[in-house]
Amino acid sequence: MATNTQQLPSRDEMFNQRLPFILIGMVVISALLILKLISFQQLSPDVVNELSPDYNRTVKLASARGFIFDHSGQRLAVNTVEYRIGISPNLVANPQRSATQLAAILNLDELEVYKALTSDSMYVLLAPRVSAEQGQAVEKLKEEGLTALQIEKIPRRNYPQGTVAAQILGFVGGDLQGYYGVEGKFQDQLVGRPRTEIVSNIPFDLPPQQEADKGSDIYLTIDRDVQFLIESELAYSIDSTGAKSGTIIVMNPRTGDLLGMASYPSYDPNNFQAETDPNIWRNPAISNAYEPGSVMKVVTVAAALENKTITPGWTYNDQGMLDMAGIQVQNWDREAHGIVDTTGILVQSLNVGAANVSLAMGPTDFYKFMSKFGFGRLTGINLEGEAGGTLHVPGDSVWSESNLLTNSYGQGVAVTPLQMITAVSAIANDGLMMQPNVVAKIVTNGEVNISQPIALSHPISTETAHIVRDMMVSVVQNGLDDAASLPGYTIAGKTGTAEIPGPVRYRSDAWIMSFIGFFPADDPQAIVLIKLDEPSSGRWASQVVAPIFRRLAERLVVIMEIPNDATRKALEAQGAIVGETNQ
């Protein structure tokens, strides 16, 4: 019986038989994968975010903020960098070692960092804001192999001069928004154009490299040296007089440009968060109103002369008291001074004389001129936070005829230091009152926009301005305020010692003392206001504040390179042009 034996295919034959099927399967699978990848890539970013919310996140990228300079180009506000540190835990090869390294650099708890690095999250924010030094140390870790790290640069505002001009500059908060001062007023110009980007949480993806448009640079009228001087002098004066607070302003009366403006107490804009009282961020020079006292007498006299109510030779019989409108007006010394002329009212600082002048003018004309001098309204300075002061006029429910008397010598009316110096600057500037200004120019993408002086009003004529100016010179040379005299320079000035309103009546234990003066009197290049709140070293501003003005003026004429009267006249005789500050 015959037996059939079937020969089995060899291993090579079996492989050759199956190879076509294997190749076809691989091609099909590859095609499906390619189609899947193409379809995924064609999804919109919104859909990708919807499907994988941990893959991407949306961040707002701020543009580089514009710098702030003083008038000569000294940097007052610049930009530095801080870092935001994140990590993708699932890509960390050695969590224990990485946690130790990161905790040491970022000053974090090592156990908490380890828990974050061993979590299931695709992305963990380790530190929202660290210093440039810490950020650079973390960058080094990434370069050494910890590629799971994500490092974002965060812009931060820096003020290289520290506390200098803090209340003029303001500050930039953690939200990159400017607050107060120039930072707040010019937020839109400084910030440039921010933009929003979708950033990958996967550390191998490249972050966006484009930078939004940089903000404008702003050059101030402020002179850093003048600013530092007045801040130093103010701090010394507060300490030596026992005052609680104070303000000093230096202005060019010809243009309204502020050369310096300081108030005490102040703060460091680099560490503004350290202040527990947010009122410290405000600028008292433009936002805090006070009763100015006898400084107002120069405005009252100027208004009456311009209105032709009185003349320089006008006189009255001073009895030491004026009983009218339900009040008694008394002189500071409670004395009668007999026959006094217009100049004598200012030289002897007589309340009764000022009240007689305002009575002679009448309420309509008196308050018309108070408005022309800018009282009761904003000056329009280009800083954030200005207040308008308070001036009650006939028709107001709280106004009475007694206001006509007391307002003439600076009582019952509230002004800011900036309003007061702006009003008196009209006398220094031939009767023309200029708008206060702190911005010299704005530079945007190379285009320079130079600010131009703006006249607010012309409350008095040049002739009247010169008459009152000469009276103010007599106040310093022959009157109560002789302590303000500066050898070699003709100074025009006036003090004010103002009572402080209490809940029911004026306080009898504290005063606000001030002085306003300008020099050289015949060609003013600087007008200065000094105000001290509740000094305890004397009873009158002529004793306390006038000497401070002299000390400050001695240093200002050096910094501003203002020649003395004799030198200036000699230069003018030789045809030289003098009388321009180094602005």
Q: Give domain status of residue 416, yes or no.
A: yes
- Per-residue pLDDT, 78: 95
CB-based burial of residue 547 (10 Å sphere; 0-12 exposed, 13-18 middle, 19+ buried)?
middle
Q: Give domain status of residue 52, yes or no.
A: no
Query: What is the SS3 assignment for 401?
Result: helix
- Per-residue pLDDT, 572: 82
Q: Give domain status of residue 173, yes or no.
A: no
> At CA 140, angle to CA 138 and CA 142, rounded to 5?
75
pTM value? 0.82
Structural domains of the chain, count: 1
Q: Give domain status of residue 530, yes or no.
A: yes
- Which domain covers residue 560, as residue numbers? 224-438+452-573
Q: What is the CATH number of the domain that holds 386?
A: 3.40.710.10
Residue 210 tokens read as 């484009």
CB-based burial of residue 350 (10 Å sphere; 0-12 exposed, 13-18 middle, 19+ buried)?
buried
443 bridge partner residues: 217, 448
Q: How far apart are CA 451 and CA 6, in angstroms?
A: 107
Question: How confident is the prediction along the chain (583 residues), in pLDDT tens digits per residue?
Answer: 444 545 555 656 655 666 666 667 676 676 666 665 555 444 444 444 444 445 555 555 557 899 999 999 999 999 988 888 999 999 999 999 999 999 999 999 999 999 999 999 899 999 988 888 898 899 999 998 898 899 888 778 999 999 999 999 999 998 889 999 999 999 999 987 666 665 555 444 444 444 457 899 999 999 999 999 999 999 999 999 999 999 999 999 999 999 999 999 999 999 998 998 889 999 999 999 999 999 999 999 999 999 999 999 999 999 999 999 999 999 999 999 999 999 999 999 999 999 999 999 999 999 999 999 999 999 999 999 999 999 999 999 999 999 999 999 999 999 999 999 999 999 999 999 999 999 999 999 999 999 999 999 999 999 999 999 999 999 999 998 899 999 999 999 999 999 999 888 999 899 999 999 999 999 999 999 999 999 999 999 999 999 999 999 999 999 999 999 999 988 888 876 665 544 4
- Per-residue pLDDT, 199: 56
What is the layout of strands, in order, in the sheet containing 245-251?
Answer: 258-264, 245-251, 526-533, 506-519, 492-501
Q: Give domain status of residue 456, yes or no.
A: yes
Q: How far apart are CA 539 and CA 562, in angstroms?
A: 33
Q: Give domain status of residue 168, yes or no.
A: no
Q: Give domain status of residue 24, yes or no.
A: no
Q: Give domain status of residue 510, yes or no.
A: yes
